[in-house]
């Protein structure tokens, strides 16, 4: 656990302090850190790298920041490099930098592992600035993102649709957020055939969680894919592809994190969130390839691939969101493996139409998160044609633009004139490599800060 405080002077007892090293040299003057000392300790300018240098009874953590210094990333890297034996000191040059340090320090920590003994490390971080700075809001949102990471990292035997719905209610407790939980009977009454169709193969029935925050201002609807585990259903995944499918609820968890964060900040926007929750399992009652589902908006879908299930639950969620007539609709999902093929492991894909596209790009830039716009080519819509229903959910054996086809499918569930953004985080929701920026290994909580910023800017 990271404990962050703000002080107006450095401590006199033994401590660690972080110093940024850019391509142009040290960004903070420290006489003891000569070039000879830096070379001896192999101090590296690469972003996120760290060298430990003893200076008397204290330790200097020389943190590489590359060509562009980012306060959040610097603080995150310092936390990862720090020992829990002494306080870590971060010296801020402005109140804004102090706030960024607070956020980065919390976000940079290793996510606690609930099923692993001795996985938690307590580090005291002291931000030093010559004036008092209130960082409570930054800390609150960052801690919420860490809580969301913990949820996403949970194994599927400890987190299923009903349990995740309860966790959502618990996280929203004490905030001005109304929470509705729809069980399978309510989902049937509300004609949510997509969510029901995906969840019918599991002994753990599906849920929909509706979250409502009324902060005033523009109305934003958020829709998140929440597959608590994805076996592929009867279109069973290969064993290697099934590893990590506990992360398939990251989109719904991101919606929860964004609304909770917006409420903590008191953002002046009205936000309605839909967490579309199901477990995609094979069984004697599971949806079969060739079955036809009737979605919330009345469209029928021939399910050719039960492993293309995320778009089915999102279709119902997007229909519910569209009925509210919001100013912007944003859905977020670990939708397609093709997103990783196209964008690698750090960028999220962006598709959609209307003002929401520029809003998303501006918000991502402000939050310093990586988002790349992809097209929605009209000619690929042919791939979704069906002989027996309004559309198919996927065309097996036709890999062309499969990330984009997923977006085209979702576009059928929002009005033609909607301001709509689809964010595919399949490539970036979990980090199976070393930590980078403010993201640890495992669940990243990516795009939560972007969604909050979208609400702020709407």
The answer to whether 80 and 108 are in contact (CB under 8 A) is yes
- Of these residues, 120, 237, 361, 381, which one is catalytic? 237
CA distance 251 to 255: 6
The residues facing 138 across adjacent strands are: none
State the alpha helices, DSSP H only, in 332-386: 337-343, 355-367
Is there a catalytic annotation at residue 237? yes
The residue written with tokens 């979990």 in the block is 430
CA distance 378 to 397: 20
- Of these residues, 72, 80, 296, 311, which one is catalytic? 311
CA distance 367 to 369: 6
CA atoms within 13 A on the CB side of 118: 0
CB-based burial, 402-421: b 16+ in 10 Å, e otherwise: bbbbbbbbbbbbbeeebbbb
Q: Count H helices, E strands: the chain?
A: 14, 20
State the DSSP H helix or E strand holding residue 163, giving kind and residue range, or none if neither. Answer: helix 161-172
The residue written with tokens 């913990």 in the block is 150
Give backbone dihedrals phi and psi of 238, rounded to 5 degrees, phi first: -70, 155
Q: Which residues contact 434 (CB under 8 A, 6 or more apart)?
A: 441
The answer to whether 123 and 94 are in contact (CB under 8 A) is no
Q: How many CB atoms lie within 10 A of CB 438?
A: 27
Both tokens assigned to 221 = 């609807």
The residue written with tokens 């980012």 in the block is 70
Q: Which amino acids are annotated catalytic?
A: 237, 311
């Amino acid at each position: 656990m990271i404990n962050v405080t703000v002080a107006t002077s450095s401590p006199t007892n033994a401590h660690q302090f972080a110093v940024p090293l850019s391509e142009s040299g040290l960004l903070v003057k420290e006489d003891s850190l000569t070039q000879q000392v830096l070379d001896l300790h192999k101090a590296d300018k690469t972003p996120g790298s760290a060298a430990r240098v003893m200076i008397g009874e204290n330790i200097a953590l020389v943190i590489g920041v590359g060509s562009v210094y980012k306060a959040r990333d610097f603080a995150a890297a310092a936390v990862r490099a720090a020992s829990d034996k002494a306080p870590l000191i971060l010296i801020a040059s402005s109140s804004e930098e102090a706030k960024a340090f607070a956020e980065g320090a919390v976000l940079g920590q290793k996510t606690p592992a609930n099923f692993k003994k001795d996985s938690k490390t307590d580090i005291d971080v002291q931000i030093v600035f010559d004036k008092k700075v209130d960082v409570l809001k930054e800390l609150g949102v960052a801690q919420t993102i860490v809580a969301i990471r913990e949820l996403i990292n949970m194994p599927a035997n400890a987190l299923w649709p009903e349990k995740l719905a309860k966790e959502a209610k618990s996280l929203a407790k004490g905030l001005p957020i109304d929470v509705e939980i729809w069980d399978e009977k309510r989902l049937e009454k509300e004609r949510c055939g997509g969510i029901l169709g995906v969840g019918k193969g599991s002994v753990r029935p599906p849920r929909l969680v509706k979250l409502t925050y009324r902060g005033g201002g523009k109305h934003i609807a958020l829709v998140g894919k929440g597959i608590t585990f994805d076996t592929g259903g009867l279109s069973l995944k290969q064993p290697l592809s099934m590893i990590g499918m506990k992360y398939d609820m990251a989109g719904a968890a991101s919606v929860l994190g964004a609304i909770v964060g917006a409420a903590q900040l008191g953002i002046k926007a009205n936000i309605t969130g839909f967490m579309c929750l199901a477990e995609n399992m094979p069984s004697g009652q599971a949806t079969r390839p060739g079955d036809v589902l009737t979605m919330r908006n009345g469209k029928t879908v021939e399910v050719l691939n039960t492993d293309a299930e995320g778009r089915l639950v999102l279709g119902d969620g997007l229909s519910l969101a569209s009925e509210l007539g919001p100013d912007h609709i944003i859905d977020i999902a670990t939708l397609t493996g093709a997103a990783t093929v196209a964008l690698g492991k750090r960028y999220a894909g962006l598709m959609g139409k209307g003002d929401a596209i520029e809003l998303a790009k501006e918000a991502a830039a402000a939050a310093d998160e990586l988002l790349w716009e992809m097209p929605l080519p009209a000619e690929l819509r042919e791939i979704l044609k069906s002989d027996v229903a309004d559309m198919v959910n996927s065309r097996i054996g036709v890999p062309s633009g499969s990330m984009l086809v997923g977006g085209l499918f979702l576009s059928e569930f929002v009005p033609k004139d909607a301001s709509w953004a689809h964010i595919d985080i399949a490539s970036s929701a979990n980090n199976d490599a070393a930590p980078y920026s403010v993201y640890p290994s495992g669940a990243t909580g990516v795009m939560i800060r972007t969604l909050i910023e979208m609400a702020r800017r709407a």
